[in-house]
Amino acid sequence: MEKYYLPGKDSWHNFEVVGESYREKQILSVLGRRPRLDEEIEDVFEAFLVPEPDNPHDANAISVRVNGQVIGYLDRDSAAVYRPIIHRIAASGMMATTTARIWAVVRESWEAERQARFFSNVRIYLPAAHEILPLNNHFPANVAVLPWSGALQVTGEDQHFAHLFNYLPQNGEGLVILTMHKLVQTLKNGTEKNLVEVRLDGERVGQLTATTSSHYLPSISHAADAGKELGIWARIKGSGLAAELVIQGARATELNDAWLSRMPSFPPLTPETATYTVPPAYTGDALRPRSPRTITTPSAGESSFRTVPPSRKADRQPPRGKVVLTDKDRRYSPLIHRIAGVAMIVIGVIVGAILAAIPLLGPVLFIGCLALGIMGNIRSRKIAAALEEELPVSGFIPK
């Protein structure tokens, strides 16, 4: 199947998958070896998001696969959000392609009588749901779309708002693919200036400045020599009053020989519908942690994937009174945190006793040091309790 690379900066692994703690064998197969005791292994791999409509646990399930191995899943809520997009890509005969960062270590576990245990963490690059597919899909088949790169502003789009308004999604932001064309502008003194005009489904929607145009004119000429038009990703953002375009495509100096020789066209997508025909892909090992760690859900009343908020970070707040675990917290076992908590009280008493000798302020300083020690102990105990609750479920100790 053809690969559909998710647009954006795929070196930013912003989304944590679930279920990796049940797939030690698969992850070790991808890594190629088991880490030595306390050795941390980390590597990045090309990964595929594979929908599993035949999954008996969840028909929305989307697995993350590397080298044919299932190394995790999108959590249940996120899978429901991304299902229409990933299913549409699969129904179009393509595989949603991204990158995955796998981290693994073998450490002694205090909860298992100091036996060595394997821990892993898998993160993938996953853009917001409305930043995966273009809002338009009517451009010619001979459009070669530039690789994603830094943002540059389009000018003059305010003069074409009537056309742009037809593409604005419900949430006011999305992606389109523009075509780039050489524009010769004649100045009053007769001098000709080469610029780049951008069109959306064949209609002009703005142009680039002279400086910005210089980054793309060589690529436009190269595409024309190959009998193709040059396409570029663009963010469209606006409201009922105005819209703006920001292009996101590699400049001529950023293109490698592989892309220049192939100049891949944007693959045709099956029309958007309520449901899609997706082949079965369930492998029979879709176990999931009971408490998913990354949750992204549409807000009330939002049914289209274009209106789903980004899932770049876990925005869900923990219940009141529960501690938020950090990567640093997970480096140590619950026992170490409990010992550290007791040590804080002891240190508070010792330091407070020394400061108590200060006239007038001594008693106040002693009470303050003791209070700090007690507060530190309480937090350490909460961290230990949270780790004890988390580890049996996910086995996750991040780098």
Which tens digits make up the pLDDT trace of 268-296?
899 999 999 999 999 876 444 433 333 33
Q: pLDDT category, 396, cuts 50, 70, 90?
A: very low
Instruction: Enumerate the β-bridge partners of residue 152.
Output: 247
Q: What is the number of structural domains in the chain?
A: 3
**Coil, strand or helix at 153:** strand
Which of the two residues, 321 and 163, has the higher pLDDT score?
163
Based on the fold, state whether residues 256 and 284 are members of the same structural domain.
no
Please tell me the least confidently modeled range out of 20-34, 177-191, 238-252, 318-332: 318-332
Which of the two residues, 190 and 294, has the higher pLDDT score?
190
- Cα–Cα nearest to 212, from 153, 145, 253, 260: 153
Q: What is the mean pLDDT of residues 369-391?
A: 78
Q: pLDDT category, 342, cuts 50, 70, 90?
A: confident
Q: Which pLDDT belongs to residue 10?
A: 78
Q: Which pLDDT belongs to residue 329?
A: 67
Q: Does 369 map to a domain?
A: yes
Q: What is the mean pLDDT of residues 137-153?
A: 87
For 165, phi then psi, to 5°, come to -60, -30
Q: Does 334 map to a domain?
A: yes
Q: What is the dihedral of CA 394, 395, 396, 397, to 10 degrees?
A: 160
Question: Is the confidence at residue 187, as pLDDT, over 90?
Answer: no
State both tokens at 334.
Answer: 């619950």
Domain that holds residue 159: 143-262
Question: Is the confidence at residue 194, as pLDDT, over 70?
Answer: yes
Based on the fold, state whether residues 233 and 168 are members of the same structural domain.
yes
Q: Which pLDDT belongs to residue 284?
A: 79
Q: Does 193 map to a domain?
A: yes
Based on the fold, state whether residues 233 and 292 are members of the same structural domain.
no
Q: pLDDT category, 395, cuts 50, 70, 90?
A: very low
User: What average pLDDT is seen over the chain?
Assistant: 84
Based on the fold, state whether residues 102 and 32 are members of the same structural domain.
yes
Q: What is the mean pLDDT of residues 74-103?
A: 96
Q: pLDDT category, 351, cuts 50, 70, 90?
A: confident
Based on the fold, state whether residues 123 and 225 are members of the same structural domain.
no
Q: Which pLDDT belongs to residue 19?
A: 93
CB 377 within 8 A of CB 342: yes
Q: What is the maximum alpha-carbon separation in the chain?
A: 89
Based on the fold, state whether residues 81 and 148 are members of the same structural domain.
no
- Cα–Cα nearest to 281, from 102, 58, 3: 58
- Report in angstroms the alpha-carbon separations of 201 from 32, 48, 172, 198, 235: 47, 30, 19, 10, 15
Based on the fold, state whether residues 105 and 197 are members of the same structural domain.
no
Q: Does 321 map to a domain?
A: no
Q: What is the mean pLDDT of residues 170-182?
A: 94
Q: What is the mean pLDDT of residues 329-356?
A: 81
Q: Which of 209, 238, 262 is the last residue of a domain?
A: 262
Based on the fold, state whether residues 71 and 39 are members of the same structural domain.
yes
- Cα–Cα nearest to 312, from 128, 160, 84: 128
Q: What's the CA gap between 161 and 225, in Å, rounded?
A: 32
Based on the fold, state whether residues 298 and 338 are members of the same structural domain.
no
Q: Which pLDDT belongs to residue 301?
A: 34
Q: Does 254 map to a domain?
A: yes
Q: Does 278 map to a domain?
A: yes
CB-count burial class (<10 Å; 0-12, 13-18, 19+) for 382: middle
